[in-house]
Amino acid sequence: FAPFSMGPRACIGRNVAILELELIISRALWLYDIRLAPGTEQLGVGYQGEYKIKDHFAVGKEGPVLQFRMRQK
């Protein structure tokens, strides 16, 4: 799976896209308390606790389903 392609003709914006993802994830972790949604603990969980991946054009999967709650300041 190479969403940005590889080699000399790879995506020119790859580093910017990865930086934006890192910023979004770190900001979400800073602002919100995150937990598994009640009742969905076993959704998509297969052998030895691994999440099952479905073969699609990209990748499809079920779970984990998360709940976000704004942290108190």
6-60 pLDDT, tens digit per residue, is 888 889 999 999 999 999 999 999 999 988 888 766 666 666 767 666 666 665 6
Does residue 1 carry a pLDDT above 70? no
Q: Residue 64: what pLDDT?
A: 72
Q: Residue 62: what pLDDT?
A: 67
Q: Residue 53: what pLDDT?
A: 64
Q: Residue 28: what pLDDT?
A: 93
Rama region for 49: left / alpha / beta (φ>0; ψ in -120 to 50; rest):
left
- Cα(23)–Cα(10) distance, integer angstroms: 22
Q: Residue 56: what pLDDT?
A: 63
- Cα(63)–Cα(53) distance, integer angstroms: 10
- Residue 33: phi and psi, rounded to 5, are -90, 130
- Cα(23)–Cα(27) distance, integer angstroms: 6
